[in-house]
Chain A
Amino acid sequence: MLDLLFDPSFFASVPRFVTPILLAALGGALCERAGVFNIALEGFLLAGAFAAVLGSWFAGSAYAGALAAMIGGILMGLVFAEFNLRRGGDAIVVSIAINLLAAGLTTYLLRAIFNVTGAFNDAGIVGFKAIHLPGIAAIPFLGPLLSGQTILFYVALAMVPLLHMFFARHRLGLRMRATGENPAALQAGGVSPKRVQLWALVGCGALCGLGGAQLSIANVNLFVENMSAGRGWIAVVAVLLTRGRPWPLFAIAVIFGVVDSLSFRVQGLGMPQQFTDMMPYLATPIVLTALSWWRRRSAQ
C-alpha cells in the first residue's frame, strides 16, 4: 500500500500542488507584512488562472499566458487598492466582493469569449513544458521532485529566499514591514504608507497570477469554472499562521502540497472522490491544532 502511494510519480506530482499554494501565499505575505488584510487570494488566483488561458490561447505561447496571468492578478490587486486604500472600504468586505467578482467575471467571460460553459479545453492553449535537469533526475526521491517540473515551480522556489532577502534588506521590503508595523513612523519619514501598500498589492497580484497560471497552463491545459477550488483560502490560512514569513510559509505550502497530492493518489486507489477532495481542508484544522498544541507546550 505504502509503496503504491510513495512511488516516484508521487514525488513528481508534489511540486504541482505546492506551486500554486506557495505562490499565492508568498503574494499574501507581501500584503500581510505591509498591513493589508487581503483575504481575496482565492479571487486573485482564479483571475490569474483564467487570464493565463486567455493569454496563452491568443498569443500561442505559455510565457504570454504567464504574463497575462500576472496582469490579471495585478488588475485584481488594483481593484483592491482602489476600493480599500483609496476609498477606504473595509478589507474583509472588499475581499469578499473581489472573490465574488473573480468567480462571476471568469465564468461570464468564459462564455462571452470562448462560448463554452463549465470548462474551456482547446488545443490552442499552449502549456508550460517540463524542464529536465540531467544530473539531478537520477537522484532517488529528490530527482523526480526537483527535475521535470515547469519553470513556474522553480520561480516559486526561488521566490522564497528572494522574498526573505527582500523583507530583510531591500528598501521597499523594509518600508513594507514598517507600513505593517507602524505606518505613522513611515509617514513621518516622508513615505506614503498607502503607496507602499499599493506596491504590496501589485506584487501580490502578480504572484497570485503566476500561481493561477500553474493551475491552468502547467498542471493541465484548460480552464474550469472555479478551478482555484479553495486553494487561495488555504494560502490565506498559511499567511495568517506564519504572519507572512517566507520560510515557514514554504514549509506549510509543502505540507499542503503533499496532502493535496496524496489525496489525488488515493483517489486513484479507489477511495471516493468526495473524501479525497476533503483532505486538504481537514488537514488545515489538524495542522493548526497541532501547531497550537506545540506552541502552548513550548510556551510552558
Chain B
Amino acid sequence: MKLGDGIFAREVVPWLAVVFWIAVVLFVLVELVSSDFGAAVQGFIQGAFGGRRLAYLMTTLSRAALITGMALSVMLSFRAGLFNIGGEGQLVAGGLVAALVAVLVPGPPLLILALSILAAMAAGAAWALLAGALQLYVGVPLLVGSLLLNYPIRYIASYLVAHPYRDVASGMVQSHLVPQATWLPYFPGTRLDIGILFIVVAAIFAVAYSHTTVHGYQSRMNGLSPDFARTVGLPVNRLALQTLAMSGAIAGLVGAIAVFGIHHRYIDGMLVQPLYAWTGIIAVLLVGMIPWLVPISGFFFAAIQTGAAGMERTAGVPKEIALVVQAVIILLVASRVSGALLSSSDRKAGGGGDA
C-alpha cells in the first residue's frame, strides 16, 4: 500500500497538476473573450474529432502526419546530439522544390510525383547540410546556424511564388497547381490523403536506422557521449553530416506531402504559419524522444490545433489559444522531458565547431 501511495504521489499527482493548470489557463483565456466555456469545449471536441463524415478528424489526422514527420526529422538529429532547429527551413525547401518541379517538368504523372518527392528530399537535405557545414567548417553553432537558415529560404520561397512562378490569375501569392494526376489519392471512402503512409514508411526507416544499423548506433553513441565517440575514433563529423542530411530529407519529404496531399501547390507561408516544424520539436520533447510515442504526441498537438480552429468557428475564441496551451504544456512538463540528450553542458553553446 505504501509503495502504491508513493507511485501515486510521484507519477500521478504531477500529471493531475498539469491537467489542472491547463484547465485554469484555458478557462481564463476563454473568459477573457467572454465566450461560453461549455460551447468552447464542445467546439473544440467537434473541431478536433468530429465534422460531417468525420471531416475534421481527417484534417487532424493529416496534420498529425505532417507534425509527426517533422518530429521524426528532428528526433534523428536530437538523438545524435545535434541541436538542429532548422526543420522549418528544410520543410520549406522541400515543399517549394516539390511544387516547382511538378509544375515545371512535363512527363508521366507517377514519374513526376516520384521525381518531385526525391527532389524535395534532396533540397531538404541540402539545406540541413548547409547548417552542418556552417558548424563544422566555419564554427557557427548548429543551434544558431540551423535556426538562421530558416529565414532566407522562407523569403526565397516567398519571392519565387510572388514573382517568377506566381499563379497570377489566382490573385494570391502562390504557385500554379501541380498536375491533378500527381495529387495523392484519398483513402477509399474518406477525405484523408495517403501522405500519412509516407510518414509511416519514414518512421519505420528512422527507427530501423537508429536501432539496427551501425551508423545509427554510432550516431546515437555520438549523441549520448560525444567525447567517447571521438575517443574511440568514430568519424564524428561525417556522422553528423549524414544524420543532418537524413533529417533534412525527411523534412523535405514532409514538405512534398503537404504539397501533393493537401494544398496541391505552394502557397506563401503555408508551411510556416501552422508552425509544423516547431510543433514537431515540442512533440518530440514532450515524450522525451521515445520513438513509438512520437505519433501519439503528434496527434495530440494536431488535435489541439484543429480543435482550437473549431473553437474559433463555433465560440469565437481566437485559435491562437492553441499556441498558448501548447506552450503551457511544454513549460509544465519541461522538467520531466529534457532528457539526457539536451542537458549536457557542452551542448549549451550549441555544440560549437571546435567543441
Contact = CB atoms under 8 A, between A and B. Distances in A.
B140 A104 contact: no
B331 A278 contact: no
A282 B322 CA distance: 32
Interface in B120-173: 134, 138-141, 143-145, 147-149, 151-152, 155-156, 158-159, 162-163
A300 interface: no
B338 A100 contact: no
Q: Is the interface of B mostly helix, strand, loop or mixed?
A: helix
Contacts of B275: 100
Nearest to A276: B155
A93 B74 CA distance: 14
Interface residues of A, number: 46
Given A83-B331, A281-B152, A292-B138, A233 B323 contact: no
A113 B281 CA distance: 30
A289 interface: yes
B348 A103 contact: no
Nearest to A82: B331
Contacts of A275: 155, 159
B331 A289 contact: no
B181 interface: no
B349 A112 contact: no
Contacts of A112: 29, 32-33, 318
B158 A274 contact: yes
Nearest to B330: A97
Contacts of A92: 83, 143, 342
A159 interface: no
B320 A89 contact: no
Contact of B342 (A90, A103, A278): A90
A104 B331 contact: no
Given A89-B331, A107-B320, A274 B144 contact: no
B324 A101 contact: yes
A139 to B, nearest CB: 36
Given A96-B330, A272-B159, 18 more contacts: A39-B143, A83-B335, A94-B334, A100-B275, A100-B323, A103-B320, A108-B324, A236-B144, A240-B141, A274-B156, A281-B148, A281-B152, A282-B152, A284-B148, A285-B140, A285-B149, A288-B145, A292-B353
Interface of A: 37, 39, 79, 83-84, 87-94, 96-98, 100-101, 103-105, 107-109, 111-113, 117, 230, 233, 236-237, 240, 272, 274-275, 277-278, 281-282, 284-285, 288-289, 292, 295
